[in-house]
Chains A and B, each alone.
Chain A
């Protein structure tokens, strides 16, 4: 697969940057897509210099659904792997009082990512190969009072990826769902997190790279999260509703 192109949507995040380096180090050309993409010019230069691959920048707004088809058309080549690392945490306190803000979180984590991956899935299917990667969240496995607008939007994305995988399972296109758990990024900066549960962006990149090679379906980055989420999901609702997680 060396030499083939990897598209990274939401390329401005720490996780996306780590993913770009990981795939570039394996010889893949990189397409970085984000809003105000010119701010990523230093990353473009850096990835190209370090790894000797072609790196291109593409203006992309996940919320601008109408522009998605043109965006895909405008890529230098239809990528072999497309990774959606778009995400917006928002503030739960705001999301429960200001519905505009809640809608923005839901659209950014679910509507936009699902639509662009849906579009790419069709193009991949038509071409006859491709891998789609959705960076979802463990927050999408059960809604919690402290984070449920974000969680619900990620839950929608998880269900979308699972359905897409099911639809494409008999064909050559593969879908990978990533549930990273806590990651040390700008999004989690300043949050008091138990450090043993926190992965580095480079850990996520390594795990995603390995998973796309092995064509895994759903991965957690730190294995302990599988256990944690199994317990959280197994709690009966009348118990769960009284917890503060």
Chain B
């Protein structure tokens, strides 16, 4: 038994971690009789990938098996991390179609959470580019599933949080790119309505995301930097980069050497940081060329950045509010956050496109994500934010959740009951469970 937690280091749960290395060992664990959950690189924030009786570490299954340069289809084991896919295939002109904000996620984790990126409004989620999966079920059978083969199981596994079985192999289509650079355009939005208007005008942009100052009240509430991006062609690069458009960016990685005391992070320091970030961003508004690593994974440069919130860990609140109620909902959320004076360094706003899935997070609307150090006060605030989300017809992202109440989940998720019924009917309910699924009653 060891203490396991997600990326937020909250909650910490005593759990048995099994580390199978062979197919036989993995099959034996799948059929062991009790409940279990697969775990990848531990980048879900909360308790999605923890089962105290049996958590199965898939990281030894990290082999890439096949690549077709005609279609861009990569077949790989679920423990491969996205960063390895990029390291291997970007030099050959390929990049993942969809990437979350860290390259340290495994493919299995990305499928289980059906993660989205800055292009969801235009190109959909991670699952859109999954051609098929091999799923290991509780009978030790490997089921190939796709849109034509075992389609129900396929759909329930994309975004199914690992609750349908163990994702073993993934066939993922990659995007052809002609450089490792992104053309970024930065716009300054004075308030939330302006930020939303910028997103709506930018529906054709491949990538769009906004950093939002969540401590501003009054007329500047929701002031933001909206950043749009497109893959750059070699001709658009400065001369010295044109010959080697895929050359790896020179970046240094930092380790968080210590866990800083939690008093370091207070309203005053966050307010100062936000003001600086905003004014610096506003000054530098306009166009820039950014390497893929800095553009998609700014936080990956600081290894172990999750320690900045102190020993008690942190929780990320990420909700989506449907389009019709988005502005009212975002205003109510931001007002509550500013009133509590509990903002975080990086609050992110993003327009999501429509998606019809058994349990995946995205819906047409706006998603807001921000971190809070875990304290009694912030936990209470997050309950308040839950209520606002619920009131405006929104829902919470399970990959980020570590503390939502069961009632809240069922009020906001009419899909929960059919998903649970599907699990009952297929026998998955007795075999796969996480601390999160038990907390939420899924």
Contacts and interface: CB of A to CB of B under 8 A. Distances in A.
Interface stretch (A37-45, A110-118, A167-175, A224-232): A37-45
B88 A50 contact: yes
A118 B19 CA distance: 36
B22 A45 contact: no
B65 A45 contact: yes
B19 A189 contact: yes
Nearest to A186: B21
A193 to B, nearest CB: 14
B64 interface: yes
Q: Is the interface of A mostly helix, strand, loop or mixed?
A: helix
Contacts, number: 25
A149 B423 CA distance: 51
Interface-centre pick from B62, B63, B66, B67 (highest chain A CB count, 10 A): B63
Given A49-B66, A50-B84, 13 more contacts: A14-B21, A39-B22, A39-B23, A42-B63, A42-B77, A43-B63, A45-B64, A46-B62, A46-B63, A49-B65, A49-B67, A50-B64, A189-B19
25 contacts: A14-B21, A39-B22, A39-B23, A42-B63, A42-B65, A42-B77, A43-B63, A45-B63, A45-B64, A45-B65, A45-B66, A46-B62, A46-B63, A46-B64, A46-B65, A49-B64, A49-B65, A49-B66, A49-B67, A49-B88, A50-B64, A50-B84, A50-B88, A186-B21, A189-B19
Chain B contact-residue range equals 10 to 19
Interface of B: 19, 21-23, 62-67, 77, 84, 88
A49 B64 CA distance: 7
A179 to B, nearest CB: 24
Interface of A: 14, 39, 42-43, 45-46, 49-50, 186, 189
A45 B88 CA distance: 13
A46 B67 CA distance: 10
A189 B25 CA distance: 14
Contacts of A42: 63, 65, 77
Contacts of A49: 64-67, 88
A12 to B, nearest CB: 9
A45 B75 CA distance: 10
Q: 10 tightest CB-CB pairs across the interface, nearest first?
A: A46-B63, A42-B63, A49-B64, A45-B65, A50-B88, A46-B64, A186-B21, A49-B67, A42-B65, A43-B63
Nearest to A39: B22
Contacts of A46: 62-65
B3 to A, nearest CB: 15
Contacts of B88: 49-50
Contacts of A43: 63
A197 B159 CA distance: 40
A126 B88 CA distance: 38
Nearest to A189: B19
A1 B310 CA distance: 48
Contacts of B63: 42-43, 45-46
B171 to A, nearest CB: 14
A192 to B, nearest CB: 12
A113 B19 CA distance: 28
Contacts of A186: 21
Contacts of B84: 50
B293 to A, nearest CB: 19
A6 to B, nearest CB: 19
B56 to A, nearest CB: 14
Contacts of B19: 189
B301 to A, nearest CB: 21
Contacts of B64: 45-46, 49-50
B191 to A, nearest CB: 48
Nearest to B75: A45
A53 to B, nearest CB: 13
Contacts of B23: 39
Nearest to B62: A46
Nearest to A44: B63
A195 to B, nearest CB: 12
A23 B44 CA distance: 33
Contacts of A45: 63-66
A73 B19 CA distance: 37
A203 B285 CA distance: 44
